[in-house]
């Protein structure tokens, strides 16, 4: 949920609650005041009535009142001499509705006998007043709610705009490029401080990235140069005419180890470079087509190992990614499928709009399939295998948002790459 929306919702909810409480309180206050008024008037009338009865000592019901205001009923037997206010409904004489009245009931003696006297006052007017006031209040409170809500929205939107602009810039920021991060400046100190901090962090990130990159390159150089020297010296050494069988064996071993180390170094550096996202160039590539072309580079070895190649295409997998990485990915996949194949085996290349799959015949895995993509996981103990090929494949997939899965159906191993 966006900040603005969340703030609006909380604001709306809180104001609704407060306004409702205010409305209800207001209603009760008005009601109380009107009752108070009506009751005090009834009390005055009671005094008038008692004064009249005292001076005349009689009461005739013939004094005609529109609203049947005073009702005097003789009481027989015991009664509780009490003065009470009650709400009551009296049917209207002219139409069939029942109108609300406030009634004051008390007992008095007229001509020596007890009577119960009820004095009433119509509440119709008062109720109408309450209704009118309530309606007006709901309308005003509603209007106030809506207008403050809208005002709040617009204001927050304006206030937060520099924040959102900066956020968009941060999102676009790419630490692999040299372009510095520039956040939006505004009148608000907090946002400016945030911008300063972000800019500092961004430039630190760029700096670290650059030094890491330089380090990887320098490390490569520093290690490859002595290896090149070993290689060169061995090559010079084997030119001498009088090498015994022992010597050539040792030389061969040294040479081999140096080459292995160099390849290992290159493999690890490649992994580091992929992890550091140093392959930034992007192109829209047809991976199916590339895989097919790659396969042609391996023609000789396929022929040599008498591996049958089957192609199956149900569409082309297109993907925007670094061409260098795509090349390494496919080379490693095919290399893997050839290395772990046996003479006379089969290699199948399948592709669809959302996948490329390389399958090969081969012996069952000795280790768990989940560990297949780990570094230095070697199936064969052959010194030629570095155990980095599939780790590199996995790393590339992780970096290019491709999914990779492995399946084994005797005797075919399949590695599938899906978008």
Partner 1 sequence: MKILVVEDEKGLAESITDYLSREGFICEVANTFWQADEKISLYQYDCTIVDLTLPDGNGFDIIQTLKKIAAATGIIIISARNTLEDKLKGLEIGSDDYMTKPFHLSELNARVKSLIRRRNFGGNNDMTWKDIRVNLPSRKVFIQDIETTLSKKEYDLLLYFLSNIDVALTKESIAEHLWGDNMDSADSLDMVYSHIKNLRRKIVEKGGKDYIQSIYGIGYKFTAP
User: Which spans of this chain sit near partner 1 (rule: CB under 8 A)?
Assistant: 217, 220-233, 235-236, 238-239, 245, 248-249, 251-252, 255-256, 258-259, 262-263, 266, 297-298, 300-301, 304-305, 324, 331, 335, 338-339, 382, 384-385
CB of 335 to partner 1, least distance (A): 7
Nearest residue (CB) to partner 1, 15 versus 385: 385
Structure tokens at 42: 């009834």
CB of 370 to partner 1, least distance (A): 25
CB burial class (10 A; 0-12, 13-18, 19+) of residue 225? exposed
Nearest residue (CB) to partner 1, 105 versus 336: 336
Measured between alpha carbons, how far is residue 103 from residues 39, 69, 239, 305, 330 in Å? 9, 9, 131, 113, 97
Q: Which residue reads 């799959």 in tokens? A: 357
Cβ atoms of residues 360 and 345 within 8 Å: yes
Nearest residue (CB) to partner 1, 50 versus 297: 297
CB of 391 to partner 1, least distance (A): 15
Structure tokens at 226: 């002595």
CA 273 vs. chain centroid, Å, equals 31
Instruction: Supply angle C-alpha 122, 127, 129, rounded to 5.
Output: 115
**What single string gives the DSSP state of each residue in 1-67?**
--HHHHHHHHHHHHHHHHHHHHHHHHHHHHHHHHHHHHHHHHHHHHHHHHHHHHHHS---TTS--TT
CB of 300 to partner 1, least distance (A): 6
Nearest residue (CB) to partner 1, 245 versus 368: 245
CB of 179 to partner 1, least distance (A): 18
Structure tokens at 316: 């082309």
Nearest residue (CB) to partner 1, 262 versus 418: 262
Q: Strand ranges (DSSP E) for 199-304?
A: 283-286
Nearest residue (CB) to partner 1, 103 versus 266: 266
Nearest residue (CB) to partner 1, 68 versus 335: 335
CB of 396 to partner 1, least distance (A): 15
DSSP H or E run through 230:
helix 189-237
CB of 318 to partner 1, least distance (A): 21
């Amino acid at each position: 949920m966006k900040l603005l929306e969340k703030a609006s919702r909380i604001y709306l909810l809180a104001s609704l609650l407060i306004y409702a409480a205010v409305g209800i309180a207001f209603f009760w206050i008005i009601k109380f005041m009107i009752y108070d008024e009506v009751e005090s008037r009834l009390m005055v009338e009671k005094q008038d009535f008692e004064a009249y009865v005292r001076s005349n000592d009689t009461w005739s019901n013939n004094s005609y009142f529109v609203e049947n205001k005073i009702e005097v009923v003789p009481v027989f037997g015991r009664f509780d001499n009490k003065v009470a206010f009650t709400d009551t409904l009296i049917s209207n004489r002219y139409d069939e509705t029942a109108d609300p009245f406030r009634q004051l009931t008390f007992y008095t003696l007229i001509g020596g006998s007890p009577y119960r006297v009820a004095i009433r006052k119509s509440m119709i007017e008062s109720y109408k007043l309450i209704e009118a006031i309530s309606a007006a209040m709901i309308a005003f409170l509603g209007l106030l709610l809506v207008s403050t809500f809208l005002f709040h929205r617009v204001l927050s939107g304006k206030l937060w705009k520099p924040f959102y602009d900066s956020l968009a810039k941060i999102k676009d920021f790419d630490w692999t490029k040299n372009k510095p991060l520039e956040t939006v400046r505004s009148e608000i100190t907090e946002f400016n401080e945030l911008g300063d901090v972000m800019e500092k962090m961004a430039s630190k990130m760029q700096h670290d990235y650059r030094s890491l990159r330089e380090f990887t390159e320098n490390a490569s150089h520093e290690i490859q140069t002595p290896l090149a020297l070993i290689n060169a010296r061995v090559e010079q050494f084997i030119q001498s005419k009088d090498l015994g069988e022992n010597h050539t064996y040792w030389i061969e071993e040294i040479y081999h180890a140096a080459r292995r180390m160099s390849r290992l170094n290159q493999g690890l550096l490649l992994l580091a470079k992929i992890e550091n996202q140093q392959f930034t160039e992007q192109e829209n590539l047809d991976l199916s087509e590339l895989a097919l072309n790659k396969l042609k580079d391996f023609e000789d070895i396929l022929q040599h190992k008498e591996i049958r190649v089957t192609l199956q295409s149900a569409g082309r997998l297109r993907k925007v990614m670094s061409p260098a990485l795509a090349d390494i990915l496919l080379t490693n996949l095919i290399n893997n499928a050839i290395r772990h194949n046996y003479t006379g085996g089969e290699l199948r290349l399948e592709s669809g709009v959302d996948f490329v799959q390389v399958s090969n015949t081969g012996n069952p895995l000795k280790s768990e399939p989940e560990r297949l993509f780990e570094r230095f996981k070697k199936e064969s103990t052959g010194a030629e295998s570095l155990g980095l090929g599939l780790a590199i494949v996995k790393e590339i997939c992780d970096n290019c948002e491709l999914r990779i899965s492995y399946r084994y159906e005797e005797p075919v191993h399949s590695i599938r790459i899906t978008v």
